[in-house]
Structure 1
Amino acid sequence: MRVIGLTGGIATGKSSVARFIAELGGAVIDADELSRQVVSPGSPGLERLVAVFGEEMLLPDGSLDRKRLGRVVFVDDEQRRRLEQIVHPEIRRLAAERIAAAADEGHRTVFYMAPLLIEAGASELVDEIWVVTVDPEVQLERLMLRDGITREEALRITACQMPLGEKARHGRIVIDNSGPPAETQRLVKDIWLKEIGSEL
């Protein structure tokens, strides 16, 4: 089975590209979904997070306040490393389980969508990497609009991540999502027909 890592920077539109792939019949495993499972209420992962970062990281219903945690880890490299040491190994374990299950179901190609695929050292889970990228200014605008934050905050968040140009160098396929959705959808379909269509 061929496992393709789908990654990109924050607010580059990875989820949109993954949705287009799913609409074409691709099997997609979402690392963000796995990360939510890892820290779901009652999970060992959430207990470890609370032990490290404090109970103030919980919402009244007992779930993780992801925005509050984000405000802490995006301004402190050491705190971000502590978070990653808790969640990344569990996400990789769950991803490996999902990939194996997809193989058992007969899928010949599976996409593993993970924003921090390269940074988290999870590249060994995949056979190749596809990178979703956008113009840096478009990335800032989309991040500001999506999260309702200032340009300064958006710059601080993007500065914590691998630069888009560097990330793109890891990709065998690079998908430029700077344009409107319909344009990206056509691009994804063209890549799909060339790269995947013959495997189905």
Structure 2
Amino acid sequence: MRIIGLTGRSGAGKSTVAGIFESEGMVHIDCDRVTARVLERSEGCKRELAEHFGPGIFTPDGAVDRRALGAIVFSHSEQLEALNRITHKYILEQVRALVERCRREGAPAVVVDGATIIESGYDRECDLLVAVTADKAYLITRIMQRDRIGISEARARLEAQKPDDFYTGAADITLYNDGSVLDLQARAKTLARRIMEECSAHEEDS
């Protein structure tokens, strides 16, 4: 089974690419969903977050207030790094368990979709790392639409992340989201089919 890492800056189009990969036969592991589950269920993670960020990041019923946490970490890069240091080990534990389940079930390939695959070190566990990039104006617009926030907050979130060359420099393949959604989907489909053909060839050889 091949593990495909999919990464890039927020708003670049990773979800679009992941959806195409899934439609071509890969199992999609969405690290945003894994993170949400960790923040909801992991008492160890919540305890560490409380120790570092204080009680203000929790709702009255004890849940992590992701908006309050985001306001802190996306305004200060050192706080984002602290969040990653705390959460990565819990997230990776869940991702590895999901990947192993896919392996047991005979999946030919999984795509692990996450913005911090490289920072977490999970790129070293991937057979192929794909980065998705887009220009800054597009990213800001996408973040504003997706997260329903203003332009200044969208810019702050983007500035708190690594630059494009951080992702492209580590990636085996880069998909440039510099046209329409249909263009990106077509590029993703071509790549996905190539990967799946390689998986089939490997199965035949083994």
Give the structure-2-normalised TM-score.
0.88
Show the counterpart of 1:90.
90
Query: Which shifted more, 146-155 or 129-138?
Result: 146-155
Q: How far, CA to CA, are the matches of 2:40 and 2:153 in structure 1?
A: 27
Cα drift, residue 137 of structure 1: 1.6
Q: In the alignment, residue 34 of structure 1 is paired with which amino acid?
A: V
Indicate the residue corresponding to 2:184 in structure 1.
184
Q: Distance in 1 between matches of 2:172 and 2:88?
A: 24
Please say if residues 73 and 80 of structure 2, whose CA atoms lie closer than 8 Å, have aligned partners that are also in contact: yes
Letter in 2 for 1:182: L
Deviation at 1:61, TM superposition (A): 4.2
| SS at structure 2 position matched to 1:161 | coil
Partners of 2:97 and 2:125 in 1: how far apart? 11
Q: CA deviation at 1:38?
A: 1.5
Q: Give the conservation status (yes or no) of the 8 Å contact 1:48–1:86.
A: yes
SS at match of 2:28: strand
Query: 2: distance between equivalents of 1:81 and 1:28?
Result: 26
Tell me the matched-pair count.
Answer: 200
Once residues 27 and 145 of structure 1 are traced to their aligned partners in structure 2, the CA distance between those partners, rounded to angstroms, is 27
Moved more, 2-11 or 17-26: 17-26
Q: Is the 8 A contact 1:41 1:63 kept in 2?
A: no
Deviation at 1:14, TM superposition (A): 0.9
Q: Give 1:198 deviation, angstroms.
A: 4.5
Equivalent pair of 1:3/1:128 in contact (CA under 8 Å) = yes
Aligned to 2:128: 128
Change (3 A) 1:18 1:61: farther
The runs of 4+ residues in structure 1 deviating greater than 6 Å are none
Find the counterpart in structure 2 of residue 32 from structure 1. 32
In the TM superposition, residue 27 of structure 1 has moved relative to its aligned partner by: 0.8
- Which has the larger helix fraction? 2
Tell me, yes or no, if structure 1 residue 155 matches structure 2 residue 155.
yes
The alpha carbon displacement at 1:112 in A equals 1.0
Measure how far apart 1:5 and its partner are: 0.5
* 2:171 match: 171
Match runs of 1:10-49 below 5 Å: 10-41=10-41, 43-49=43-49
Q: C-alpha displacement at 1:154, in angstroms?
A: 2.2
Q: Judging changes above 3 Å, is the alpha-carbon distance between structure 1 residues 128 and 66 closer, same or farther for their aligned structure 2 residues?
A: same
Distance in 1, matches of 2:151 and 2:39, equals: 29
Relative distance call for 1:114 and 1:42 in structure 2 (3 A) is closer
Q: Does the Cα contact within 8 Å between 1:136 and 1:164 map onto a contact in 2?
A: no
Whole-angstrom distance in 1 between the partners of 2:83 and 2:89:
11
For structure 2, the residue ranges without an aligned partner over 5 or more in a row are: 201-206
**Structure 1: stretches of 5+ with no match in the other structure:** none
Counterpart code for 1:23: S
CA RMSD of aligned residues (A): 1.9
2-side partners of 1:193 and 1:144: how far apart? 32
Report the Cα distance in structure 2 between the residues aligned to 1:159 and 1:42, rounded to whole angstroms: 29
Match of 2:142 in 1: 142
